[in-house]
Structure 1
Amino acid sequence: MTKQKIVIKVQMSCDKCRSKAMALVAAKGGVVSVAIAGADRDQVVVVGEGVDSIELTSTLRKKVGPAQLVQVGEDKKEVKPPAAAAPAPYYPWYGYPPAPSQPVSYVYEHPYGYGCQTREESSCSIM
């Protein structure tokens, strides 16, 4: 199901009325987002899936004030999922993918301890 955009003009005279209208709309099932729009901040813009615009308008009319359904249509701002990252290249002559491109640091420990760091001085947590 595609997202739909519903615009309802509601007579709202104060910020308390606007917040009440937004709370009523946000409580309905299927609503994804609610916003106040218009030059006089008298329009409630609802984006959602499976939202009944007639029921929404009548609820606003009963609880907030005079309301008029202005527009019902498909939401143009469809969010596309991000593209998947490219898979790591496969080198058949090695039989496995290459090592990570990030640098890896190693501490070489000579088996007899000649001039190299000892285990206590090493910053490596594995050793």
Structure 2
Amino acid sequence: MKQKIVIKVEMTCDKCRSKAMALVAATVGVDSVALAGDSKDQVVVVGDGVDSVKLTSALRKKVGHAQLVQVGEVKKEEEKKKPAEAAAATAAVVEYTYPWHYYQYPSHAAPVYGYQQYYSGPDTWWM
């Protein structure tokens, strides 16, 4: 049974956010982690067999003040939405090909001082 856990964490900077996300993602049983809320101060965890109390206390120790907001089952509609969103995301990926080539300068056997050897003037650059 998958469950959805929402934890409000006091995160003041991007470093705190990444630290909290890494800590939650490393927990056994976590399937997905997301940030929610207006100021991105809530961590939404979806997983199977995740202990919400231990996760909250670990966030308190490593990041800062954390409060368990909600624990509940994942609805079937959310599970059905994920494969459709994943298919739409993969369909939107466009592979770009580069038509130009990078110029590779010739290697030199002897040291060349300046560019006089390869540059003969502004009017003969195309020859």
Show CA shifts across 1:8-64 (max 9, x none).
Answer: 000000011000000000000000000011001100000000000000000000000
Show CA shifts across 1:54-87 (max 9, x none).
Answer: 000000000000000000001121238x9xxxxx
* 1:43-122 → structure 2 map (5 Å cutoff): 43-76=42-75, 77-79=78-80
The whole-number CA distance in structure 1 between the counterparts of 2:55 and 2:35 is 15
- What amino acid is the match of 1:25? V
**Gaps spanning 5+ residues in structure 2: where?**
84-127
TM-score by length of 2: 0.61
* 1:19-34 → structure 2 map (5 Å cutoff): 19-34=18-33
Identify, as 1 or 2, the structure richer in helix.
2
The whole-number CA distance in structure 1 between the counterparts of 2:17 and 2:80 is 27
Aligned position for 1:10: 9
The whole-number CA distance in structure 2 between the counterparts of 1:32 and 1:60 is 18
CA RMSD of aligned residues (A): 1.4
Aligned position for 1:108: none
The whole-number CA distance in structure 1 between the counterparts of 2:65 and 2:51 is 18
**Gaps spanning 5+ residues in structure 1: where?**
83-127
Aligned position for 1:102: none
Q: Secondary structure at the match of 1:22?
A: helix
